[in-house]
């Protein structure tokens, strides 16, 4: 196993004529990214400047080592929610008198996420991106969005909400309704309405940018602090320095588990976004190479005191729509945010917290993909149910438990699909070539004396009993005079010892009923398993065929031989050997 990490892969073939487009795209990305950069850390309870650090360091890391020209990485609402749950689980596991810096914990998790990305690339585990199916991701994100929205109650009302879960925060809100800061609530609702109007009207200026500018101007004009409306306050002027966060007194096992949950969700959702934009730009997404880019982005964020990142669909969309050609746009965006941090901290200090809460609520609502849920409902009711189960898990049991439920739902869905493999009896359809499923083509007829049975799925321990009962049921309903029962194994990619024992039992049961078991079109690995178990010898190599047509020819030849032997015996004819012959 080797790990090849090319530098500036995404900038190969760069053309100077792209620079103006990349500069304008980078400035647009910075404008869109700034509101989320200062809003998302609140989900985890981190200092607001950490969002700026992540938005600066991560794009630089990805530009150095990432493969895509147009993807922009940065803070992501879903990733931040999983991170919040991971950080909280670590903090509550420590002694009550322990001094815990949540920013240090988040930075450590970012470093571990980066290490997991690189280890996964080394092991070629980019396939893990498809581990969470699209329906389950849709359900999980919907559940996360509800958690984010509930988490903004305090920021929008000026209350200090201590309860967790879905119902308890609203009950606490009702009990403390007399203490609601109504100017805060009015401001938050107004900013939310502005966001929805901008989104519906598709103005060229992004809604979060308008909200930040308008709320800052209003804060200056009406002195929000005197009205009891909370504002961001002081943000450090200095840029972050590289440092390795200390692991002392922190539970390594919980950090690794939290990082694994963050990795699974951020990489899974990131690859979904990457493939979506690749379809528009004509790029090819290599999940294994994306692991390097995301790993570099997370490590850079962790070293600069930030938190885990993922592919940002909003920033990538802005980069693509404004003509961004390469990762130079991401570098320009990072430079613009550095300038903001150095020269515009005073302007950000007066930004009202309710406006940031409105931005988070709007971002959370964008995670609820109603159209996709309807699409899943039309295609598969079972997958829709799994999406709802995952959504319910994230809302009811917390985000980390929601990740576990999402994984469990994926496994249950996968096993359920494999537990009941499709099967069919095959026959001829008039003079047409080939074989046809009897239940799909009523005009098709079985070959007299021969049952051709196809199993469309692997034979493993969890479906062996089901397949055995299916074969017994089918065999009991075959017409009298059926002599051969041939299994078309062309779709059996895997088999295990439990299934081999089941096939041996079936061979014995069929023999008692006067039928011979045959197998056609075995995969090489499946054939080796049959040979090693001795089942191939017990079946008889003469009943193992290259394909189903070969089995039919063998059956016809055997029937013809039996017929000729019967005729010869009934007429008393004996074969004579000529003299000298």
- Number of Cβ within a 10 Å radius of residue 163: 15
- Of residues 322 and 480, which shows the higher confidence score? 480
**What number is the average pLDDT over the span 154-161?**
90
Q: Roughly what angle, to the nearest 10 degrees, separates helices 524-533 and 497-512?
A: 70
Tally of residues, the chain: 581
* C-alpha to C-alpha distance for 393 and 25, rounded to whole angstroms: 39
Q: Does the pLDDT of residue 261 top 60, yes or no?
A: yes
* C-alpha to C-alpha distance for 369 and 292, rounded to whole angstroms: 29
Grouping H, G, I as helix, E, B as strand and the rest as coil, residue 574 is: coil
Q: Roughly what angle, to the nearest 10 degrees, separates helices 399-419 and 381-396?
A: 160
Q: Which two tokens stand for residue 50?
A: 């950490």
Domain of 433: which CATH number? 3.30.750.24
**What number is the average pLDDT over the span 101-109?**
94
Edge-to-edge strand order for the sheet containing 484-488? 436-437, 422-427, 450-456, 484-488, 516-520, 544-545
What was the pLDDT predicted at 318?
83
**What number is the average pLDDT over the span 178-202?**
93
Q: Which two tokens stand for residue 320?
A: 């693509």
**What number is the average pLDDT over the span 437-443?**
93
What was the pLDDT predicted at 520?
96
What was the pLDDT predicted at 581?
37
User: Is the residue at 1 inside a domain?
Assistant: no
Single residue among 392, 411, 430 that ends a domain in this structure: 411
* C-alpha to C-alpha distance for 180 and 185, rounded to whole angstroms: 8
Same structural domain, 453 and 392: no
Q: Dihedral through CA 139, CA 140, CA 141, CA 143, nearest 10?
A: 90
What was the pLDDT predicted at 400?
72
Handedness of CA 20, 22, 24, 30 (dihedral sign): negative
User: Is the residue at 3 inside a domain?
Assistant: no
Same structural domain, 386 and 468: no
Same structural domain, 443 and 348: no
What was the pLDDT predicted at 577?
35
Instruction: Look up the domain containing 553 and give its range.
Output: 420-562
Angle (CA) 298 410 277, round 5°: 50
List all residues 6 or more positions away from 378 whose beta carbon is below 8 Å from its beta carbon.
none
Q: What share of the chain is helix, strand, coil (3-state, %, to 5)?
A: 65, 5, 30
Q: How confident is the model at residue 279 (pLDDT cuts 50, 70, 90)?
A: low
Same structural domain, 256 and 386: yes
User: Is the residue at 576 inside a domain?
Assistant: no
* C-alpha to C-alpha distance for 398 and 86, rounded to whole angstroms: 10
**What number is the average pLDDT over the span 158-172?**
85
User: Is the residue at 7 inside a domain?
Assistant: no
**Per residue in 456-474, pLDDT tens?**
999 999 999 999 999 999 9
Q: Hey, which of 19-23, 319-323, 411-415 has the most confident mean pLDDT?
A: 19-23
Strand partners, 454: 424, 488
pLDDT above 90 covers a percentage of the chain that reads 54
What was the pLDDT predicted at 525?
94
* C-alpha to C-alpha distance for 34 and 356, rounded to whole angstroms: 11
**Per residue in 523-568, pLDDT tens?**
999 999 999 999 999 999 999 999 999 999 999 998 887 655 544 4
Single residue among 411, 436, 466 that ends a domain in this structure: 411
The overall average pLDDT reported for the chain is 87
- Of residues 157 and 409, which shows the higher confidence score? 157
Same structural domain, 173 and 317: yes
Q: Does the pLDDT of residue 98 top 90, yes or no?
A: no
Handedness of CA 136, 142, 148, 151 (dihedral sign): negative
Alpha helices in 152-181 (DSSP H): 153-157, 168-175
Kindly calculate the radius of gyration of the chain based on its CA atoms and give it in whole angstroms.
32
What was the pLDDT predicted at 218?
95
User: Is the residue at 313 inside a domain?
Assistant: yes
Q: Are strands 310-311 and 73-74 parallel, antiparallel or unpaired?
A: antiparallel
Query: Looking at the 3D structure of the chain, how many domains does it have?
Result: 2
Q: How confident is the model at residue 135 (pLDDT cuts 50, 70, 90)?
A: confident
User: Is the residue at 570 inside a domain?
Assistant: no
* C-alpha to C-alpha distance for 405 and 137, rounded to whole angstroms: 11
* C-alpha to C-alpha distance for 294 and 276, rounded to whole angstroms: 17
Single residue among 387, 411, 435 that ends a domain in this structure: 411
Q: Does the pLDDT of residue 131 top 70, yes or no?
A: no
Same structural domain, 259 and 315: yes
Same structural domain, 469 and 549: yes
What was the pLDDT predicted at 6?
64
* C-alpha to C-alpha distance for 89 and 255, rounded to whole angstroms: 9
Same structural domain, 309 and 458: no
Same structural domain, 294 and 326: yes
Same structural domain, 242 and 366: yes
What was the pLDDT predicted at 105?
95
**Per residue in 27-58, pLDDT tens?**
989 988 888 898 899 999 999 899 999 999 99
User: Is the residue at 146 inside a domain?
Assistant: yes
- Of residues 96 and 454, which shows the higher confidence score? 454
Same structural domain, 350 and 478: no
Q: Does the pLDDT of residue 82 top 50, yes or no?
A: yes
DSSP codes, 201-217: HT-SS-HHHHHHHHHHH
Strand partners, 460: none
Q: Does the pLDDT of residue 214 top 60, yes or no?
A: yes
Same structural domain, 268 and 390: yes
Contact 457, 494 (CB under 8 A): no
User: Is the residue at 30 inside a domain?
Assistant: no
């Amino acid at each position: 196993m080797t790990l090849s990490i090319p530098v500036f892969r995404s900038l190969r073939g760069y053309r100077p004529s792209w620079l103006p487009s990349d500069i304008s795209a980078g400035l647009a990305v910075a404008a869109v990214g700034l509101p989320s950069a200062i809003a998302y850390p609140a989900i985890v309870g981190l200092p607001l400047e950490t969002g700026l650090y992540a938005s600066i360091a991560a794009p630089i890391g990805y530009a150095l080592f990432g493969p895509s020209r147009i993807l922009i990485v940065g803070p992501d609402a879903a990733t931040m929610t999983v991170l919040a749950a991971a950080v909280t689980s670590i903090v509550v596991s420590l002694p009550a008198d322990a001094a815990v810096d949540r920013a240090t914990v988040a930075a450590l998790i970012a470093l571990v996420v980066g290490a997991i990305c690189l280890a996964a690339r080394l092991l070629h585990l980019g396939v893990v991106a498809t581990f969470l199916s699209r329906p389950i991701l849709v359900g999980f994100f919907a559940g996360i969005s509800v958690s984010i929205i509930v988490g903004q109650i305090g920021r929008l009302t000026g209350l200090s909400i201590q309860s967790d879960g879905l119902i308890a925060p609203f009950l606490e809100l009702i009990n403390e309704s007399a203490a609601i800061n109504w100017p805060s609530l009015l401001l938050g609702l107004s900013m939310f309405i502005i966001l929805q109007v901008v989104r519906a009207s598709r103005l060229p200026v992004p809604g979060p940018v308008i909200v930040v500018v308008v709320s800052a101007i209003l804060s200056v004009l009406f002195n929000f602090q005197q009205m009891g409306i909370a504002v961001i306050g002081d943000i450090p002027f200095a840029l972050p320095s590289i440092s390795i966060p200390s692991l002392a007194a922190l539970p390594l096992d919980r950090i690794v588990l939290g990082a694994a949950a963050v990795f699974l969700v951020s990489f899974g959702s990131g690859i979904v976004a990457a493939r979506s934009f690749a379809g528009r730009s004509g790029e090819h997404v290599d999940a294994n190479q994306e692991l390097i880019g995301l790993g570099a982005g997370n490590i850079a964020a962790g070293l600069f005191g930030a938190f885990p990142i993922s592919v940002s669909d909003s920033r990538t969309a802005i980069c693509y729509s404004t003509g961004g050609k390469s990762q130079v746009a991401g570098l320009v965006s990072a430079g613009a945010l550095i300038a903001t941090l150095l020269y515009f901290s005073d302007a950000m200090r007066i930004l009202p917290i309710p406006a940031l809460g409105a931005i988070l609520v709007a971002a959370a609502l964008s995670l609820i993909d109603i159209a996709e849920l309807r699409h899943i409902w039309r295609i598969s009711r079972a997958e829709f149910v799994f999406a709802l189960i995952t959504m319910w898990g994230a809302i009811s049991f917390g985000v980390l438990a929601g990740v576990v439920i999402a994984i469990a739902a994926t496994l249950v869905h996968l096993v359920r699909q494999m537990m009941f493999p499709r099967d069919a009896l095959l026959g001829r359809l008039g003079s047409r070539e080939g074989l046809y499923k009897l239940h799909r083509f009523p005009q098709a007829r079985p070959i007299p004396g021969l049952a051709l049975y196809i199993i469309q799925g692997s034979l493993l321990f969890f479906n062996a009993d089901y397949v055995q009962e299916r074969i017994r049921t089918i065999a009991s309903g075959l017409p009298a005079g059926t002599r051969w029962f041939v299994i078309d194994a062309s779709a059996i990619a895997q088999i295990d010892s439990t299934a081999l024992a089941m096939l041996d039992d079936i061979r014995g049961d069929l023999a008692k009923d006067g039928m011979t078991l045959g197998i056609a079109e075995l995969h090489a690995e499946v054939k080796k398993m049959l040979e090693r178990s001795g089942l191939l010898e017990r079946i008889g190599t003469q009943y193992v065929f290259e394909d189903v047509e070969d089995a039919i020819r063998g059956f016809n030849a055997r029937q013809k031989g039996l017929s000729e032997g019967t005729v010869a015996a009934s007429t008393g004819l004996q074969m004579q050997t000529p003299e000298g012959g």
